[in-house]
Chain A
Amino acid sequence: MNLILFTFIVLLGFTSYYFGRKKAYTIQSSNKRLTALPQFYGYYLAIWCAIPAFIIFSLWAIFEPTIVKLLVLSDYSNQGYLDDELNLIYEKTKSLSRGQFTGEITPFIEASAEKYLSLRSIAQSSKAVIVLSIIIASVAYAYKRISSNSRTREPVEKFLNAVLFTASLAAILTTVGIVFSLIFQTIDFFKVIPLFDFVFGTHWYPAKAFVRDSSEALDPSMYSDTFGAVPIFAGTFFIAFIAMCVAIPIGLMSGIYLAEYASSKVRQYAKPLIEILAGIPTVVYGFFAALTVGPFLKELGTSMGLEVSAESALAAGGVMGIMIIPFISSLSDDVITSVPQSLRDGSYAMGATKSETIKRVIFPAALPGIVGSILLGVSRAIGETMIVVMASGLAANLTLNPLESTSTITAQIVVILIGDQAFGDPKTQAAFALGMSLFLVTLCLNIVALRVVKKYREKYE
């Protein structure tokens, strides 16, 4: 039904475009000067067709369900039902009307379902009538305006500008959406678990917080010593640290080599090859870490008499480091190449060797940019999920031994949220609280890093 209506409106739009343009030609043929190209007359009409349709469709989408619900449930008013029960009745009604209801059908619900269906069909047909009549009215009004040869290009362009502007808000909306989706659950979480316990507690054991029956009263003591995030934060930074220990030396040195030493031929092949490492999906790295690196390190450790967990922080961190190499190397390559040649010349002319020039002149000059790229790498390491989920442990141990297993923020979010989630349960909310902390930490890192890199770029431009 909706689809037919929609197609019809689209057709109507095209028709009004056609008539608008035709009108323009008629005006032209009567030897009057047009205010804009004939197409704009068409666009003008089409826009007058689209905007009312869009407004009515969205109003309907917002208000129809609420109104229908109110009307259906009005039968049950004065019968002393609770809100929750009314909601349940309404859900049953809806699924019955869709023919998906499996439970016991009572005459009450059957009656409501019939009422629901008839209300829906009334709503649909009245929507069609209202939309069509308003569109026709607005197109007629617009047609009258173009007949008097008033301006069309300016309104059309204003409209396009508004569309472009709206699109550019998408980024802000996404950020708002992220904050919005995290903040309510996080606040609910901290209503049950004190912030202090979360930030300074050293025991993380969310499995203890099983799903409660909704009738049961909240018992905060049940969760004490369950959601202490210190081991999680420590594990996250520890694994990120291991990753950076691998990525910084290799990435930085390859960036320097590519920028300063490599011939254009070597650069042409080596650079894209290293960048392949950045294009490999993280789940593949996770598989590699879990299947190859973990067992390899375990065996290596055993042969040296060390006890190495198959899910050691070293395996996850090391593989994560490999993943981050190309970020560091290409960013530092860019940064180093943008150091002006005159500085190099100055140093060479003093009789400095290449490595002296790099170490004493280029590196200090490029340092802010390099620090920025490393910070971006750290932000990536902290937010990386799949490698840790697959190769690192899931139990949160508070340890600084790289051979033992630890867990991270991201891994815990996945562990908690995989499968069915019950919203309103502290365990689920804990995942969102973790997500909030992850978002805030990476946000700070990103903003600082981006600012440093931007400042650096401006300096040498």
Chain B
Amino acid sequence: MNKSKEQLLNKRYKAEQRFRLYGLSAIFMALLFLTIFIFKIFSTGYSAFQKTWLIVPVTFDAELMMLEQNPSNEDLQDADYYDIALKSMADLDPNANEDQENELKRMVSYFFEKEIKNELLNNPGLIGKTKEVYLTASDDLDQVFKGNYPRDLPEDQRRVSDYQLKIFDQLVAKGKVESKFNISFFTYADSREPELAGIASSFMGSIFSILVCLMIAFPVAVLAAIYLEEFAPKNRFTDFIEVNINNLAAVPSIVFGLLGLGVLLAIFHLPRSTPLVGGITLSLMTLPTIIIAARASLKAVPPSIREAALAMGASRMQTTMHHTVPLSMPGTLSGTIIGLAQALGETAPLILIGMVAFVNTIPGSPMDPAASLPVQIYIWAESAERGFVEKVSACIMVLLGFLIIMNLFAQIIRHKFEKKWS
């Protein structure tokens, strides 16, 4: 009897340990996913912050550029740079035939003409002289240089030819290939060419959308929360509003996209693909989040404060506006920031209202077509070019960076300014 009891106890303790282990491994699994995830994004994305340049000697031949003596600034603007650009690439291999010259040209981005032009505009004294100019390498060579491109594939399966690789290796040996911080990733708009694609347009699109979203959602949500928490009578109608809010917070985001498409675009004829429509759509999504946060922090203000103000003869409106609302602001603000962070990461509704269109200009206002950071991730992820893979990861890093900053900010507001009621 005693022995079986002993056995049972042993079994019970083993079960206890097993259960504990399950729990621990569940946590471990969740954290492992997170680690793999972050590692994967960083390891594929960090190289996008570097850009490969070919240093090519360019002869600024006035005749080829169709320039006359003592050209004015305007003449320089209108000059023809294509020929000297072509020539300087062709000169990399003096023995090149016509096909090979074409391949040489494709070793740099199609911006090479513009890059040469900028060089001369910055320094007009170069006419007739030769200078080494930094030209953006094509995305395939960029990937080769970063070691992301398998060189041992058969030639017909890769996008760089043996000939291009040979010339490229010569340039590398001569130290004429350089890797520098990729500023254009932050200043250029989207492009079909990975080496020229940047996040400026989608970044501005995101900023405009979020601003529109903030300007609509914040006031409406705060006012609604004040009404529901402080003034609303307890009846069926307010219950109905409450059910609505809680349900809206859990409605799939794509449904809001359909709302934007079916109402804002089809009925109100607002301009497609713009941050204005995106922002309105996102604000409808964010509204319940902010209302819920604002109500929670209004509820956290102890009734004694209200009673004190009311006992002094303040009206209910004055009590609310002078005491309750200011005291609840930290919680409301941090809830708002978290809501905006969610909106910033949202993709599906923006795709439906057309913000997925290819935009190669930087938008100047919420009425201009634009993408947004998450949509940019989607667009690039769907592109076939290998050069976009690292761009996607880098864009994700930028987006995650913003989300982390916003969340930290929300935390700080909550901890620094929120009063603890004991």
Contact = CB atoms under 8 A, between A and B. Distances in A.
Interface of A: 153, 157, 160-161, 163-165, 167-172, 174-175, 177-178, 180-182, 184-185, 249-254, 256-258, 260-262, 270, 273-274, 276-277, 279-284, 286-288, 290-292, 322, 325-326, 329, 353-356, 358-359, 376, 379-380, 382-386, 389-390, 410, 413-414, 417-418, 421, 423, 431-432, 435, 438-439, 442-443, 446-447, 449-450
Contacts of A153: 315
B378 A283 contact: yes
A157 B317 contact: yes
A277 B23 contact: no
B30 A281 contact: no
Interface string B231-261: 1100000001101111110111111111101
Given A177-B263, A274-B31, A432-B258, A283 B317 contact: no
Nearest to A269: B31
Contacts of B254: 383, 385, 410, 413-414, 435, 438
Interface residues of B, number: 84
B241 A172 contact: yes
A287 B392 contact: yes
B1 interface: no
Residue with the highest number of chain A CB atoms closer than 10 Å, among B16, B24, B25, B352: B352
A356 to B, nearest CB: 7
Contacts of A390: 378, 381-382
A290 to B, nearest CB: 7
A7 B246 CA distance: 38
A7 B284 CA distance: 28
Given A273-B34, A274-B27, A386-B347, A355 B15 contact: yes
A171 B241 contact: yes
A274 B352 CA distance: 31
29 contacts: A161-B231, A161-B317, A171-B241, A171-B244, A171-B248, A171-B288, A182-B258, A185-B262, A253-B23, A273-B31, A274-B31, A280-B37, A281-B374, A284-B374, A284-B399, A290-B381, A292-B40, A325-B30, A326-B30, A382-B252, A385-B347, A413-B254, A417-B258, A418-B352, A438-B252, A439-B252, A442-B250, A443-B247, A447-B243
B419 to A, nearest CB: 22
B389 interface: yes
A291 B393 CA distance: 11
Given A165-B227, A284-B399, A390-B378, A181 B27 contact: no
Contacts of B199: none
B421 interface: no
Given A172-B241, A281-B345, A276 B34 contact: yes
Interface string B23-41: 1111101110110010011
Nearest to A329: B30
Interface in B314-344: 315-317, 341, 344
Residue with the highest number of chain A CB atoms closer than 10 Å, among B22, B23, B393: B23
A426 B169 CA distance: 56
A413 B351 CA distance: 11
B407 interface: yes
Contacts of A281: 344-347, 374, 377, 399, 403
Interface stretch (B70-78, B126-134, B218-226): B218-226
Nearest to A449: B250
Nearest to B374: A283
B347 A283 contact: yes
B328 to A, nearest CB: 14
Interface string B174-216: 0000000000000000000000000000000000000000000
A164 B223 contact: yes
A168 B252 contact: no
A9 B153 CA distance: 71
B273 to A, nearest CB: 11
B373 to A, nearest CB: 9
Contacts of B257: 417
Residue with the highest number of chain A CB atoms closer than 10 Å, among B223, B245, B250, B393: B250
B19 A358 contact: yes
Contacts of B374: 281, 283-284
A290 B382 CA distance: 10
Given A174-B284, A257-B24, A291-B381, A284 B255 contact: no
Given A270-B31, A353-B13, 18 more contacts: A161-B227, A161-B317, A164-B224, A171-B287, A177-B259, A182-B255, A261-B20, A279-B403, A288-B40, A322-B33, A379-B252, A383-B251, A390-B381, A414-B254, A418-B352, A438-B255, A439-B251, A446-B251
B240 A172 contact: yes
B16 A353 contact: yes
A153 B317 CA distance: 10
A356 B29 contact: no
A421 B261 contact: yes
B356 interface: yes
Interface of B is mostly: helix
B396 interface: yes
Given A277-B33, A385-B253, A157 B381 contact: no
B26 A279 contact: no
A249 B13 contact: no
B266 interface: yes
A356 B14 CA distance: 12
B381 A286 contact: yes
Interface string B351-371: 110001000000000000000
Contact of A423 (B13, B253, B266, B389): B266
A410 B262 contact: no
B284 A177 contact: yes
Given A164-B224, A376-B250, A439 B315 contact: no
Contacts of A410: 252, 254, 348
Contact of A254 (B27, B344, B351): B27
A414 B382 CA distance: 14
B158 interface: no
A168 B227 contact: yes
B22 A253 contact: yes
Residue with the highest number of chain A CB atoms closer than 10 Å, among B30, B34, B261: B30
Given A167-B227, A287-B381, A178 B255 contact: yes
Given A170-B287, A383-B252, A417 B317 contact: no
Contacts of A171: 224, 241, 244-245, 248, 287-288, 291
Contacts of B317: 157, 160-161
A218 B242 CA distance: 44
B354 to A, nearest CB: 8
Interface in B1-24: 12-13, 15-16, 18-20, 22-24
B223 A168 contact: yes
A279 B34 CA distance: 11
B396 A287 contact: yes
B227 A383 contact: no
B345 A178 contact: no
Nearest to A176: B244
A435 B263 CA distance: 14
Contacts of A418: 351-352, 356
Nearest to B389: A291
